[in-house]
Amino acid sequence: MIYSRIAGTGSYLPARIVTNDELASRLDTSDQWVRERTGIAQRHIADDSQACSDLALEASRRAMEAAGVSAAELDLIVVATSTPDFIFPSTACILQAKLGAKNGAAFDIQAVCSGFVYALATADKFIRSGQYRCALVVGSEVFSRILDWNDRGTCVLFGDGAGAVVLRAGDAPGIHSSILRADGSYADILSVPGNVSHGKITGSPFLQMVGNQVFKFAVKVLDEVAREALSAAGAEISDIDWLIPHQANVRILEATSKKLGIPAEKVVLTVDHHGNTSAASVPLALDEYVRAGKIKPGHRLLMEGVGGGFTWGAVYATL
């Protein structure tokens, strides 16, 4: 039996930090208002010269260094993003070239904030099939490019960043189970309803969200999919060492962990200083806690995400 296991993690955050106070200097908001409703104090914003693939490159190099993997060993690259460099080629192909990797496969997955979970589950299946042996899985976003910075209801929530893991084939289970779900009938409550046609933008190029509906939906499906993933692995909630949820909003994290019955000290929390980095949030959070020595080899992790589409999913794994 072939399994896949996380061999290394990496992340990257742009240098520029935007605090709530900075946003309050030009918006009708305040540090207190943002903290109380979201738990967010600051977020990182990419420089105009930085593309999604640039953030992904830095995170990938760090994950590959941690795993002791060279570019020549990569035979699969999967990038989860909703903010690619271009319509095409894929950000994964651009990243492959920047890494100096050759051959293999490279493609993007677009599942918004569930993107990394979708990408990790996909790469795991390819490795389990025996087709590939070493995969780079990345979540990278520059959401600052699709925000209306005059809309205090959305722009305060998001940030830019990238996170990555290297998956390697092995004989011992690493990823035990994965569950992916979607329901397109909820598309209207979180979307960027615009596109490029005949050289012009049609519709809106900015993120739009019905916050209260997103909150209710997110808490419901994160609870359900976590239990599905554990059941598929023959595991119990008490087996979890760390819950790594999508870092959207501290209220969603608290409500989800409470519904699952997971104590706060087992919940990874980075949204306060990252903001919502969409597909990058789970691998960013994972890498931060690994490098801080909190998440250790042998720990059992439940990673889950929910995002526009609507999409949601969970992966249960042993590091």
Q: Which residues are catalytic?
A: 113, 246, 276
| Strand partners for 77 | 106, 136
Nearest to 60 by CA among 287, 278, 240: 287
The owner of tokens 């020549």 is 72
| Contact present, 246 and 305 (Cβ < 8 Å) | yes
Q: Distance (Å, rounded) from C-alpha 224 to C-alpha 259?
A: 10
Residue 239 burial (CB count, 10 A):
14
Cα 292-224-77 angle, rounded to 5 deg = 55
Half-sphere exposure of 171 (CA within 13 A, CB side): 0
d(CA 52, CA 91): 7
Local structure of residue 63 (DSSP, 8 states): H
Task: Decide: 91 and 56 in contact? Cβ < 8 Å.
Answer: yes
